[in-house]
Amino acid sequence: MIDFLKNRKVQIAAQAVVITGLVGGTGAVVTMNKPVTLDVNGQSEEVRTFGGTVGDVLDSRDLDVQKNDQIKPGVDKKISRDMTITVNTAKEVSLSVDGKKSDETTHANTVGQALADLGVDAKNADLNTKPNQKLKDEGNDIDVTTAKDLTIVADGKDHKVSAAAETAKEALAETKLKLDKDDFMSVPLSSKVSDGQVLTLNRVKNDTVKEKEAIEPKTETKKSDSLFEGETKVEDEGKAGQKQVSYKVKTVNGDEVKKEKKAEKVLSKPEAKVVIEGTKKKEAPAEEPEDSGSGSDAGTGDGGSDNGSGGSDDGDKSTGGGGGNMSTQEIKDMLGGPGTKWYSVVECESNFDPKASNGTHFGLFQFLPETWHSMGGTGNPSDASPQEQFDRAKKLQAEAGWGQWQCA
């Protein structure tokens, strides 16, 4: 009797004696007794039978065949001499492939056959049992970790892995790469991996770096009546100091991701910037003299030939005319004195003459009439006081910049 049959339901019954009595003769017995090979779950034995079909042979062996069992040829097939009858019983398998579990049924007889039957590629795979292990009707647990081709990117290189790895940790173990204290993978080490997957080993560094940085100087303000209110002048540009700052810098694969200030040390102190602010009151615009009917200004009398040109004297005399009664020196002081940009512009444009004109441009700043009017002025620029001309010029500079004067 085949060993496998000991684990199945077998009904023991008398066999050949009854059949022999019915036949009624030795010659008939020899004629009807046919040799066949019976293979049950891979175990074969030769039997002799008086039956006419495969089903008769199975009945004669007391096999308890279930509907899910596989029988070749079918139970209704007629018996012929030297026939092979194959019976593969249905077997229950609890299968796990790379951690994915399922309950399966197979007619295979070994673990290896079952995996092939269930479509699992077991080549180079890790199994919890041997491929030639015989299967039982039930209680078969098969765990498979399939072979995979993966890539681990680390330190700027691709590291190829071909192994039966189930997790990222197992895949990393197949390389010579080391995971340092702060390093981390692109997926958790416990994550399941799949064929063709690309993993990244991120290198983390925490370094302390020291950097030199400037200390900007503070600004100190001084009051002075050498400048008009609203005017400023830099007396001392000052000087920036320097400090050494320590940072804790975190990088991932060479890229900075965090920078934290830890300490600083002053190497040199800054020197303050000094700015002078004017306190001098601006003079009110001079009132225009009443028209005498002659059409000329006050400077056209007997002394007109001496100072009618405005800026031709030594600079201390009055400029006269509708431009007000500021002296050339007062105009220079109003502009901030030598070294200031306004001083240079007026010196170049009009030589400090508030009534200067070339026929198209007028006054200290050589305004075009339309530009003068756009800045709020009325009449001719050269008829306005030097202070008003200066106010309009500053407004023009604020709106259009120094490019309005070639001399700037």
**DSSP output for 290-356:** PP-SSSS-GGGSTTHHHHTTSSSS-S-SB--GGG-S-BHHHHHHHTTSTTSHHHHHHHHHTTT-TT-
141 inside domain: yes
Q: Which amino acid is at 98?
A: D
How crowded is residue 28: how many other Cβ atoms within 10 Å of its Cβ?
A: 13
By residue range, what is the domain housing residue 340? 311-404
Integer Cα distance of 232 and 340 in angstroms: 11
Domain total in the chain = 5
Please, what are the averages of pLDDT over each run of 10 residues along the chain (408 residues)?
A: 43 34 41 81 86 82 81 88 89 89 92 90 85 88 91 94 92 92 93 94 95 94 90 92 95 94 94 94 62 33 32 38 72 94 95 95 96 95 96 95 88
Q: Would you state the pLDDT for residue 284?
A: 64
Q: Would you state the pLDDT for residue 297?
A: 34
Integer Cα distance of 71 and 173 in angstroms: 47
Q: Would you state the pLDDT for residue 206?
A: 93
Q: Are residues 22 and 44 in the same domain?
A: yes
Identify the H or E element spanning 280: strand 273-280
Q: Would you state the pLDDT for residue 399?
A: 94
Q: Would you state the pLDDT for residue 150?
A: 93
Integer Cα distance of 33 and 38 in angstroms: 15
- Residue pair 154/200 in contact (Cβ under 8 Å)? The answer is yes
Domain endpoint, select from 167, 202, 237: 202
Strands (E), 155-254: 157-163, 184-185, 198-202, 204-215, 219-228, 232-236, 241-252
Q: Would you state the pLDDT for residue 75?
A: 82
47 inside domain: yes
Domain endpoint, select from 280, 303, 321: 280
Q: Are residues 378 and 362 in the same domain?
A: yes
Sign, CA torsion 301/307/310/316: negative
304 inside domain: no
* β-strand pairing of 148-154 with 198-202: parallel
Please tell me the pTM assigned to this model. 0.45
Q: Would you state the pLDDT for residue 17?
A: 34
Q: Would you state the pLDDT for residue 303?
A: 31
